[in-house]
Amino acid sequence: MRRKLTIAFVGLVFVIGGWFLLFSASEGPTEAEMAQLRQRDANRRAASLEAERRSKTDLALLSEHGRGQELPDYLVSEIDREGNFWFVGKPDSAVGVQIPFAPGRLPLPPAETEPLNPNPGFLGAEACRDCHKDKYDSFIETAHHRTTRLALPNEVAGSFEEGSNRMATGDPNVIFTMKQRGNDLYQSVQFFDWGFEVPFHIIIGSSKMAESYLYWHGDQLFQMNCTHLTERDEWINSPGFIDGDAIYARPIRSGCLDCHVTYVDYRKSANHYTPKSMILGISCERCHGPGRQHVDYHVANPDVKEPKHMKVPSKLSRQAQMDVCGQCHTTKKAPINEQAFQFRPGDKLSDHYEMIDGKEESLNSVHTSNQVGRLSLSQCFQKSEMGCVECHDPHRNERGNLKLFSQRCLECHQQEHCGMKERLGDRLADNCIDCHMPVRASKNLQVETGEGNIFPPLRDHFIRVDQEATDELLNEKPN
């Protein structure tokens, strides 16, 4: 059993990283370790019983709907060495379940804890609405604002309707079904004849490519197994997850949230937070600095029109501007000493993050296509003072408007500079982008499905003559 499960989980080690190495290095526990494990297991079970007592309403529902069943005899469970996770599997089968709560129990609702470290003054975009209504109204439509939000039924893109609410895997004994009861949404897992349910709490991803989902277990946050892929309108395995396993124990560390929420109070040990301190979405303040002082000042001094206590990136050096966006759009490792949310506009990125120096699209362990590194390879960047705002207005959603982006190229270029002008005539100006900044399947994002792997596309910011992209485009739309 240990062997089989270890094999099944080893794959994840490479995808998810060092953290899981804990399991793969195992050579079987000693007698003393086993005793310790049993003791931890007993402690955990006691803790779960306590949790059960606390979430009575959920439990009533649970038995009513057949969730949280005790394990049948033919399934075995094993707790990991740190006492954090349960593996559930069949002795004769390689597929498995990973959950951070004991089999037969439920994830705990978000914990009611107090913040440990004071919030340095992040308020969220709502705090700017009254005085910057024009900016606010368009900003809330952007991918930044929408990148994390509460998983309410009208916000989740995927279907909960019978017929399209299932995700089959390559293994017939592992089936996922998306369920809705009132305003509560669940991923329901059927593993052989045993099952359990996990609630949706947070959506991560504006759904331009995909939405993934997170749930609270007390003060810990985990990624759910099923993600929704926008292009196919389908439920798929989360990127990096193994098809056929049911994985609900992938911890969400502060480095992940550093790029996808405005702020959250995090504890000393990894993946422990104060749930109610979390400010969802990337607000104005990740580019302008925490807003409390500014807001307090202008509320108290309504007649003052000179701005106080606020930074505007375009008034900083170009490198400092790139560093503002580089918090999330470049190759870097997790924040130094896990100190997320410490960067302020004007700071040097390398003071807060361990940098990976490189211009490849996929050097880091995450999935940005390294826009900062790629753009800086371009002649446009090297021979001008261009930054990101030459083409992007961070306060608007301009996605898909390739004609508008092409006009921004023409702020510096003339159509006649392009060798294709003669051939394409006036149509040239409709879309410089797909020829000079093509989208390509990204090595950063790999999704395993029952029918093979998918690599969602990202746009390359290395602006250059790309003959291949040109040929593709011309073949699609022949003259």
Looking at residues 320 to 339 of the shown chain, list those that interact with ligand HEC (rule: CB under 6 A).
322, 324-325, 327-329
What is the Cα–Cα distance from 343 to 323, expressed in whole angstroms? 9
Q: Where are the beta strands (DSSP E) in 59-183?
A: 76-79, 86-89, 96-99, 148-150, 166-168, 174-181
Choose between 105 and 288: whose C-beta lies nearer to ligand HEC.
288
Say which residue the tokens 């969220």 belong to: 124
Cβ pair 238, 259 in contact under 8 A? no
Task: State yes or no: residue 313 binds ligand HEC (CB under 6 A).
Answer: yes
Among 174, 178, 202, 259, binds ligand HEC (CB under 6 A): 259
Q: Which of residues 286-305 bind ligand HEC (CB under 6 A)?
A: 286-288, 291, 294-295, 298-299, 305
Q: What's the closest the beta carbon of residue 31 comes to ligand HEC, in angstroms?
A: 37
Q: How many CA atoms lie within 13 A of 153 on its CB side?
A: 10
Q: What's the closest the beta carbon of residue 212 comes to ligand HEC, in angstroms?
A: 4
What is the Cα–Cα distance from 214 to 225, expressed in whole angstroms? 9
- 244's torsion region: left (phi>0), alpha (psi -120 to 50) or beta? left
Among 62, 95, 284, 320, binds ligand HEC (CB under 6 A): 284
Choose between 38 and 423: whose C-beta lies nearer to ligand HEC.
423
Task: State yes or no: residue 254 binds ligand HEC (CB under 6 A).
Answer: no
What is the Cα–Cα distance from 348 to 344, expressed in whole angstroms? 9
Among 18, 28, 172, 419, binds ligand HEC (CB under 6 A): 419
Task: State yes or no: residue 447 binds ligand HEC (CB under 6 A).
Answer: no
Cβ pair 40, 79 in contact under 8 A? yes
Sign of CA dihedral 363, 365, 369, 375: negative
Q: Which of residues 221-250 bind ligand HEC (CB under 6 A)?
A: 223
Q: Given the rule CB under 6 A, which of 31-39, 58-66, 171-179, 207-215 is the region that contacts ligand HEC?
A: 207-215
Cβ pair 222, 256 in contact under 8 A? no
Among 51, 349, 432, 447, binds ligand HEC (CB under 6 A): 432
- The beta-carbon contacts of 412-420 under 8 Å, at least 24 apart in sequence, are 412/380, 412/384, 412/386, 420/470
Q: Which of residues 371-400 bind ligand HEC (CB under 6 A)?
A: 371-372, 375, 379-380, 383-384, 386, 388-392, 394-395, 399-400
Choose between 21 and 404: whose C-beta lies nearer to ligand HEC.
404
Task: State yes or no: residue 164 binds ligand HEC (CB under 6 A).
Answer: no
Site string for ligand HEC, 96-135 (x = CB under 6 A): ---------------------------x-x-xx-xxx--x
Pairing, β 194-199 against β 457-459: unpaired
Q: What's the closest the beta carbon of residue 107 comes to ligand HEC, in angstroms?
A: 17
Task: State yes or no: residue 420 binds ligand HEC (CB under 6 A).
Answer: yes
Q: What is the largest CA-CA distance in the chain?
A: 79
What is the Cα–Cα distance from 67 to 69, expressed in whole angstroms? 5
Among 170, 255, 346, 450, binds ligand HEC (CB under 6 A): 255
Count Cβ atoms within 10 A of the Cβ of residue 258 and give its class: 0-12 exposed, 13-18 middle, 19 or more buried.
buried
Choose between 102 and 261: whose C-beta lies nearer to ligand HEC.
261
Choose between 267 and 421: whose C-beta lies nearer to ligand HEC.
421
Q: What's the closest the beta carbon of residue 368 comes to ligand HEC, in angstroms?
A: 4
